[in-house]
Every structure is written in C-alpha cells, then in structure tokens.
Amino acid sequence: MIKIKFVLAIMMIVLLNGCGLLGLGGEHVDHVEAVSGDHDIVGIWQWDSDGSYIYIFNADGNGSRGFPNTIQRFTWEIEDDGLNMRVGRANEEWSWVISDDTLTITSRQVRNMQYSYIRR
C-alpha cells in the first residue's frame, strides 16, 4: 500500500510539474541545514519507509523537500491547525501531527494520501 501511495504521489508531482505548476528545478543539494525555531515542525524529516525523501522546514517559513539530488523549494505556514504549503504556483493543504519524533501529514486535497517522516 505504501508503494502505491508513493507511486501516486510521484505521478502527481510529475503531472503538476509538466503543467508548470510545481517549479521543480534540477537543483542538487550536497547538504542541508534547518534553521532553528519555536515551532515543533521546524527541522529535517526523513521518510519513514526508506529515508530517501526529506522535508526541511525552516523557522522563517521557507522549506525544501525531495530526494537528495532533486530538491524542491516551498513556503509554509500553520493556519487553523493545518499545514499550508506553496510549491511553485500550487497550494497544498495538509493535516499534521507529531508523535514520538514522527511527523505524519495527511492531504486535505487528495483522499487517502498520508506520509510519515522521522525527525533527523
């Protein structure tokens, strides 16, 4: 089931990027740093399945996500208990919870799309 969700997420990213909605750059990042801050979500999170996909939430409301060789930049904010992200020209809305250093995000736009990430 996780593989199916992952494949669907990748297909969605490819489709949206092909339409010019995501602004995926082929940017290579050798290392990443998270800016410290007061919010629990600030930091670096690795996908709990195999650690290959990461999210970085900086305290200034900027962030990045993706695989180590292809990082996608975004802005984020917490509003009405939701995580709102602006990725290129697309807006994403997620429900989120942190428990035992595991961040779980659930899409408010795509049914049954949920991922978990471990604090790095």
Q: Which segments in the chain show pLDDT lower than 50?
A: 4, 6-9, 11-36
pLDDT of residue 43: 96
To the question of pTM greater than 0.85 for the whole model, the response is no
In this structure, the number of other CB atoms found within 10 A of the CB of residue 85 comes to 19
How many Å apart are CA 19 and CA 79, to the nearest integer?
Answer: 28
Q: How many domains does the chain have?
A: 1
Beta bridge partners of residue 87, listed in sequence order: 90
Look up residue 91 and give its two tokens.
């807006």
Provide the terminal-to-terminal Cα distance of the chain, rounded to the nearest Å. Answer: 25
pLDDT of residue 39: 82
Domain with 83, as residue range(s), is 2-119
pLDDT of residue 6: 47
Long-range contacts of range 27-31, CB-CB < 8 Å, 24 or more positions apart? 27/70, 27/71, 27/73, 28/69, 28/70, 28/71, 29/64, 29/68, 29/69, 29/71
pLDDT of residue 92: 98
pLDDT of residue 21: 40
> What is the CATH number for 15?
2.40.128.50
pLDDT of residue 8: 42
pLDDT of residue 38: 63
Q: Is 67 left (phi over 0), alpha (psi -120 to 50) or beta?
A: beta
| Phi, then psi, of 113 in degrees rounded to 5 | -100, 110
